[in-house]
Amino acid sequence: MNRRTALGLGTVATAGTVLGTATPASADTAPAATPERVAARLAAAYERETTRAGGNWQAYVSVAGTAGGTPVVAVAESPDQRIEAYSVNKIAVATAVLDKVDRGLLALDQRVEVTASIVVPGGDGIFSLDGAYPSSVTLGHALAALLTVSDDTAVRLCGLVCPAAELNSILVAKGFPNTQVEPVANPNRFFLGTSTPRETHELLRALVAGTLLSPASTTFLLNLLRSPIAFTDGIRRTMSSDERARIATKAGWFGSARHEAGIVFDAAGAPLLTYALFADGQAGADDFGATHPAVQARARLGRVFLDATARLTGTGARHRLTAQRPSNGG
């Protein structure tokens, strides 16, 4: 069995050849007119970039079907393998917290205490940089830090209002039994746990479809993932600010793993492409910057995602982004 067959790419690639869309690597960013042709180009780009980066990849990528039809799968590499999702699972954590907000059990303007003991020393984010505790922030502020700068202490703040066991039960009830945090002795703390490429992909599709959370919570979550300060080293790297605003994304990194999952919207705000890319085992495990091979691969794929879909229209509800522009103070 060759790698293309194992990835589930054979059908898409064959379709691309029959349709006359099998093109050199330099042409796979040219706009395509149908979801099937886009899928063929994405499949070729994915195989090329992941082979170049090396290591292990698990992924699920789909393109919106015509007129709201079934999405066309472009990539399915070990889509049901349960793996450590790391910070990509912060989307799932936020989903559980916002579910409690939707049920009136929590409120975004309620305050959570930031004590010295809850801060993750040296962790990613901003809370570990404050240097002045105790303090308090709103739950909305904690979620904003969780999903934009991927703050590690914000995970613990979420655990104060949504313990691990409850969080997992919420995700199971929503249909995501493999997307689970890992409990520890303290019931209000947890490791970020596991997911599968397919479940992460389906969680994102449920989010934009409006079946995961209320309209208000959906808008709140998507605005964070599409904000200018959300992750830009991967999929969104080689894009203008307006193009970046069309991508809702969340990355996760730990050890040798470099993950990213998200949604590409068309210019009108309709979902166009959904991706869940999990990678580990590449060279440069100590490099958490933009030069890591897997992150570079995702940056190149991000440009392909936008360019190859330029002539397609997304399907489903439109999610318009609130305009955000730099300020000079005052």
- Tens-place pLDDT, residues 59-92: 999 999 887 679 999 999 999 999 999 999 999 9
Residue 259 β-bridge partners: 252
* pLDDT above 60: residue 15: no
Residue 83 β-bridge partners: 195
Q: By C-alpha distance, which of 28, 30, 51, 25 is closest to 41?
A: 28
Question: Which residue has tokens 């520890």?
Answer: 184
Percentage of residues of the chain with pLDDT beyond 90:
82
> Exposed, middle or buried, 226 (CB in 10 Å: 0-12/13-18/19+)?
buried
pLDDT digit string (tens) for 125-159?
A: 999 998 899 999 999 999 999 999 999 999 999 99
DSSP 46: H
What pLDDT is attached to residue 72? 96
* pLDDT above 50: residue 2: no
* pLDDT above 80: residue 251: yes
Max CA pair span of the chain: 64
Mean pLDDT, range 296-319, rounded to an integer: 95
28 vs 38: CA distance, rounded Å: 9
* pLDDT above 60: residue 20: no
Average pLDDT value for the chain: 91
What pLDDT is attached to residue 264? 98
Residue 85: both structure tokens together: 């999702």
The beta strand positions in 219-298, using DSSP E, are 247-254, 257-265, 271-280
* pLDDT above 50: residue 21: no
What pLDDT is attached to residue 31? 59
Neighbours of 183 (CB within 10 A): 18
Mean pLDDT, range 172-197, rounded to an integer: 98
Q: Select the more confidently predicted residue: 100 or 20.
A: 100
Mean pLDDT, range 184-213, rounded to an integer: 98
Say if residues 270 and 317 touch (Cβ distance below 8 Å): yes
